[in-house]
Amino acid sequence: MKTIYIFFLLLTAKPICALVESYSINDIETFKLKSVEGKFYTKENLKGKFGTIIIFLSNHCRVSQKFQDYIILMCNILEEKGIKLFVVSPNFEKAILPDELAYTDSGDSFEEMKERANWKKYNFPFIYDGEKQIITKSLNVKITPTAYLFNKFGKLIYSGRLGNHDKPFEIENSELYQAVKRLLIGDFKYVRTKVFGTSIRFQEDMKLVEKVHKRYAHESIYLNYGDERKLNFFLKQNTNYPRFFYIWSIHDNPAQTRENLITISSSYKIFRKRGLKVFTVCICEEEEKKIALEILKRAQLSSLNFYTSGNEISELSNLRSSGGYKTTPFCRLLHGDGKFDYGTNGLITQKKLKNSFLSALNLEEYKKNQK
């Protein structure tokens, strides 16, 4: 009986491609969503005179980033041809894992969408669908970047990749541009291509994020003694990864210390899988070690943590910027070859720290690929 039932399901099941091919703009649920320029869009705004393109793009996705300029250029071309273009940010941003943000200066919140749009001077509607993911779920989108092309009747005629992610500026050779050309001569045959990019995160993915954060909270935090020889080894070694040093004392402003360590901790968890190394050095006496360790535990900072006396940091003191009056806290980012990068005394700005980590890691990756 079970075999007969399975056979019946196979006969009646609709192929996935057929399901996708049957999509139309009318299948999208009713919505009212905001774009970065402050304008609200509804389903009624979607249909263009000769067609509509909806592109799903993620700020944090490396492949999406490669096609940003492509989309800007395509928007000018499509406008002349009577085809509307809409770009949708589909991620439930709280469900994105920390290390998935290791290749971006901006996440997928609405405010970060606006930052990216202003920086890149987007000339298209960039719509936030991250809260309820109405458009995303209506079209069953799973990966960014993905393009959907509808004809003037609202019927889907193309879904898939925008083009070759290794050659994103070759617009005329791209699959999406070729689909537009077919549309304009009245060829409405459905074409589907494979997509390559980053999985979209949905609200149900929050369970995984919660597990990850719980695991982070239970990571072991160590504080070891670092003499001048050991600290100088980490400081002076030539590597193919950037190193970040934070020099502090338990006698620094407690609120500032806590904020700095939490900022370092959250950023370190994002970039450590890419090779970033973080060292903290607390200047304190042996009997103060437990206090320093407890402060590090509260910040969940599972980096390479050392404590030492003040006379063991002569070389490390050269990392300090010239401004300010206090000896600690101060920090410095070094490239693999030891070249100085971001550094500050006092309070660390999270945005500057993350951007510095990203820039340094990208540079080291570029150097490695050039060898």
pLDDT in tens, 241-279: 999 999 999 999 999 999 999 999 999 999 999 999 999
The CATH architecture to which 14-202 belongs is: 3-Layer(aba) Sandwich (3.40)
Nearest of 246, 237, 236 to residue 307 by alpha carbon? 246
Return the percentage of the chain with pLDDT > 70, whole number: 93
Asked if pLDDT for residue 369 goes beyond 90, the answer is no
| CATH 2.60.40.1930, domain 219-370, yes or no | no
Nearest of 214, 240, 249 to residue 338 by alpha carbon? 240
Asked if pLDDT for residue 10 goes beyond 70, the answer is no
Length of the chain: 371
Exposure string (b/e) for 148-167, b if CB count within 10 Å is 16 or more?
A: bbbbeebbbbbbbbbbebee
Q: What span, in angstroms and rounded, lies between the C-alpha atoms of 259 and 190? A: 54
Q: What span, in angstroms and rounded, lies between the C-alpha atoms of 294 and 209? A: 25
pLDDT of the residue at 17: 38
* Fold agreement (14-202, 219-370): yes
Average pLDDT on 291-296 reads 98
- Domain ranges in the chain are 14-202, 219-370
Window from 31-40, 141-150, 227-236 with minimum mean pLDDT: 227-236
Q: 83-89 and 51-56 as β-strands: parallel, antiparallel, unpaired? A: parallel
Nearest of 28, 48, 57 to residue 127 by alpha carbon? 57
Return the percentage of the chain with pLDDT > 90, whole number: 87
- What band does 12 get if pLDDT is binned at 50, 70 and 90? very low
Nearest of 338, 138, 366 to residue 242 by alpha carbon? 338
pLDDT in tens, 145-171: 999 999 999 999 999 999 999 999 999
